[in-house]
Structure 1
Amino acid sequence: MRTLLNVLWLVLAGFWLALGYVAAGVICCILIITIPFGIASFRIANYVLWPFGRTTVHRPGAGTFSLLGNVIWIIVVGWWLALTHLVTGALLMLTIIGIPFGVANLKMIPISLMPLGREIVRTGQHAL
């Protein structure tokens, strides 16, 4: 069932959302100081392509620098990525088939706003 949901997700929204994250990652990798943001963006792009069966958890040991990085992330790219998830989720919820995908979009808003200090794991698995 996860595979079917992931394939439908990829066709309906995942590919286009992942392109947004890849674009943000490329922009962030232009400057040396923002490379960690680019890496986080590429990591989320991978998650956005195939989200069902995976979740995000807080990474142990993530502290003050992750918090400061998340504040910068929100200001630079996080707000428009979250807005993209919000709009895409609302549009997907207009149809009955799209409701689970719209809910999945809304669940991705927190990681689009604060990706640093988070880890993507399979559902039911905990961070080490």
Structure 2
Amino acid sequence: MPLVSFVLNVLWVVTGGIWMALGWLLAAVVMAISIIGLPWARSALTIARYTLLPFGQTAVRRDEFRGREDMGTGGIGFIGNVVWFVLAGWWLALGHLFAAVALAVTIIGLPFAWAHLKLALVALWPVGTEIVSNDEAARGQGYSRV
């Protein structure tokens, strides 16, 4: 992890990023307890890790990044996202929006507010999203490409 990303991630955790990561973790636990929500629990855990350390990583559409559709990026993924939105997506997005507004009050909090806004969008529609490093996203290289 580059030094700038490391410093921003430390400041992110200190300024409250850990609370939203815990919110994502809670969503994952609730989904896992229901057994039927295990696919959403996996997505929530992935994004909880991203929410804990967002700088140096980015969220990309999995089908665009890998160059092929899978179950989570087609019609079933759409239905999964609708269910996610109803059960957990709206309150996680709302938490990120409140945090963004609070951080945007100060100039130093603007990068963190922007990160919360990006995470709010991910919170609304996470199925079919993959978290990759900024370098991988810039290259546009998926793991399955040769």
User: Same fold by TM (over 0.5)?
Assistant: yes
Q: How does 1:1-128 map to 2 (within 5 A)?
A: 1-60=4-63, 61=69, 62-125=73-136, 126=140, 127-128=142-143
Aligned residue pairs, count: 128
Displacement after TM superposition at 1:15 (Å) = 0.6
Greater radius of gyration (CA)? 2
Report how far residue 95 of structure 1 moved.
1.0
SS at structure 2 position matched to 1:85: helix
Q: Where does the alignment leave 5 or more consecutive residues of structure 2 unmatched?
A: 64-68
Q: 4+ residue runs of structure 1 moved beyond 3 angstroms?
A: none
Percentage of pairs with the same residue: 44
| Helix, strand or coil at the partner of 2:114 | helix
Structure 1 alignment gaps of length 5 or more: none
User: Deviations along 1:26-60, whole A, 9 cap, x unmatched?
Assistant: 00001221111111111100000110110011112
What TM-score comes out, normalization by structure 1 length? Answer: 0.96
- Displacement of 1:83 in angstroms is 0.2
Distance in 2, matches of 1:105 and 1:33, equals 29
Render the CA deviation track for 1:57-113: whole Å, top value 9, x for unaligned.
111212111110000000000000000000000000111111110111111111111
